[in-house]
A and B are shown apart, each in its own frame.
Chain A
Amino acid sequence: RKEVEQDPGPFNVPEGATVAFNCTYSNSASQSFFWYRQDCRKEPKLLMSVYSSGNEDGRFTAQLNRASQYISLLIRDSKLSDSATYLCVVTPNNNDMRFGAGTRLTVKP
């Protein structure tokens, strides 16, 4: 079983749609959780941290369920500029990050 698993997609949605990504992780001792965004042939960029209490940043909402070892990302009112690969990231300790393979999103006009 992979340490971090994501649905690879692709997700093709129209502008204005709401889309949700899921991620599961295997190491129950994992300490920190993030969503990164990666555009084609670019480096990953931090989108948001994920907390057990849930957190929201504009159109983006992230949730963490430690009991189920499950992380989610919800994007509301999708924009063309949201098209990218979304990487689920888990840190099993304070040092290294473990990435999922990413979920590819395409938002169409």
Chain B
Amino acid sequence: DAGVTQSPTHLIKTRGQQVTLRCSPKSGHDTVSWYQQALGQGPQFIFQYYEEEERQRGNFPDRFSGHQFPNYSSELNVNALLLGDSALYLCASSLTGGRNKNIQYFGAGTRLSVL
């Protein structure tokens, strides 16, 4: 049973560039959430996708956008990268309406460095 998988594992970009991160949810899950974790901090909620739509959004600028595909996988796009976007980006999946609907399972993350 595959868990949450993310790609790539590491990425180096320069300021102003754009980046796309990918996530495949745990088998049987239909909901994907994205988080940003800066060094020494807890993960910060970016947004959540369900039924191919953004269902909830945290306090992140419009430079952060996403998409969910019919197979429930998801992408996170960040435009006009800033140095402060350097962080670990975590994807988490869950099952909406399931018995444990609030429990999210995390992928290993993509470590983004912006130079």
Residues of A that sit less than 8 Å from B by CB: 4, 31-32, 34, 42-46, 49, 87, 91, 93-102
Contact = CB atoms under 8 A, between A and B. Distances in A.
A100 B106 contact: no
Interface string B32-69: 01010000111111001000000110100000000000
Interface residues of B, number: 24
Interface of B: 33, 35, 40-45, 48, 55-56, 58, 90, 92, 96, 101-109
B42 A102 contact: yes
B41 A101 contact: yes
A93 B106 contact: no
Give chain B's interface secondary structure class: loop
Given A44-B43, A91-B102, 16 more contacts: A34-B102, A46-B103, A94-B96, A95-B55, A95-B56, A96-B33, A96-B58, A97-B43, A97-B45, A97-B92, A97-B104, A99-B42, A99-B43, A99-B44, A101-B41, A101-B42
Nearest to A33: B102
A68 B40 CA distance: 27
B102 A98 contact: no
B101 A94 contact: yes
A96 B42 contact: no
20 contacts: A34-B102, A42-B108, A43-B90, A43-B106, A44-B90, A44-B106, A45-B106, A46-B105, A87-B43, A95-B33, A95-B48, A96-B45, A96-B48, A96-B56, A97-B43, A97-B45, A97-B102, A99-B43, A101-B40, A102-B41
Contacts of B105: 46
